[in-house]
Amino acid sequence: MGFIQRERRERGQRWAETIQWWPTRRVFLDSRMMTARSISQFVNTFRHNQNFIIIGYVGAVLELAEHLQHTGVQLPGLQSVSVTAAPLDAAARAQLEHVFNVPVLNQYRSAEIPWIAAQCRQGSNLHILASHRHVEINQPGGSSNPAERSGNLLITDFANKVFPLVKYDIGDTSSFAEGTCPCGSSLPMLRPVDGRVTDTLRLPGGRAITGGLTGLFNKYPHAVRQFQIFQGADRSLTLRCIATNAAALPDIERARADLASLVEGLVPVSVQLVDTIPHDRGKSRIVQTEVPRS
């Protein structure tokens, strides 16, 4: 298995995990130190493997995909790619599926509470690992949210015997998914995380938008490889996009208009075409803002 994430393990931890995960082998690439050389060394580890998976931060896995496209290297033994640490928008999913040509699966976990929910190969929603985690959804004011309405996620961790976390406000927003998954699992389902409290647009008059931003290109998944919303100190918005090609420009303009509609015209919204959108230690930031939270 290949892990592309922030590597914080001490030597003793690595040996303990090597024994714990035997006979599988795990190879790490530190998302804070991704260079052409380190990526090539990581990729060469798997060039001749017949059966492996890659798990990593969304931004770091996107950078790996860019490297493979640039070098023309293929990984024929790759079975699937799982991503975490940031919302997986439709544009990023389309890019990863195009490059890797395998299922791209969404995971939801954090440093405080690992393995909260995960996507299977047959459904688009995430199965909550209900035997170990309890998930609730509340509005910012504290009232309970009915199914299919987005709100703040509160997580209770049953597995932490050292420091129990009860109704922990993890800072993410999402909603429950009704119905059953095609895979037949009876586990409750969570829709993909659609925002973070830190991914907030602050508008004049005190209004804040925290949800729905990751789905800006859901209607135009092949228009961009990546995007980010930048809010300047004057509260104006710039939609930074890595366009797939010139033919995508009309769809990018439609997404800009959708964003302008979402903020109800309270601030100007422009488009900036860029070649790269740097990740933050492997994590993709949907919103970058110069507006203070206060």
Summarize the confidence of residues 76-83 as an average pLDDT.
92
- Which residue did the predictor score with more confidence, 16 or 134? 134
Report whether pLDDT(127) > 60: yes
Summarize the confidence of residues 261-271 as an average pLDDT.
92
Report whether pLDDT(96) > 70: yes
pLDDT band at 214 (very low <50, low <70, confident <90, very high): confident
Mean of pLDDT over the chain: 84
* Residue 82: how many other CB atoms lie within 10 Å: 19
pLDDT band at 26 (very low <50, low <70, confident <90, very high): confident
Closest Cα partner for 291 from 253, 245, 238?
A: 238
Contact 108, 193 (CB under 8 A): yes
Report whether pLDDT(9) > 60: no
Could you name the CATH architecture of 201-289? 2-Layer Sandwich (3.30)
Which has the minimum average pLDDT: 41-45, 73-77, 211-215, 253-257?
211-215
Domains in the chain: boundaries: 201-289
Summarize the confidence of residues 247-273 as an average pLDDT.
94
How far apart CA 119 and CA 135 sit, in angstroms, is 16
- In this structure, what token pair is assigned to residue 12? 């003793």
pLDDT at residue 155, as a whole number: 94
Q: Sign of dihedral through CA atoms 95, 35, 279, 277?
A: negative
294 Cβ neighbours under 8 A, 6+ residues apart: none
How far apart CA 123 and CA 150 sit, in angstroms, is 19
Report whether pLDDT(120) > 70: yes
How far apart CA 127 and CA 190 sit, in angstroms, is 6
pLDDT at residue 258, as a whole number: 92
Q: What is the pLDDT of residues 230-257, one digit of tens each?
A: 999 999 999 999 999 999 999 999 999 9
Which has the minimum average pLDDT: 23-27, 105-109, 113-117, 125-129?
23-27
* Residue 217: how many other CB atoms lie within 10 Å: 25
- In this structure, what token pair is assigned to residue 282? 């492997």
pLDDT at residue 283, as a whole number: 64
How far apart CA 157 and CA 67 sit, in angstroms, is 37
Summarize the confidence of residues 221-235 as an average pLDDT.
91
Q: What is the pLDDT of residues 147-166, one digit of tens each?
A: 557 788 999 999 988 888 99
pTM over 0.85: no
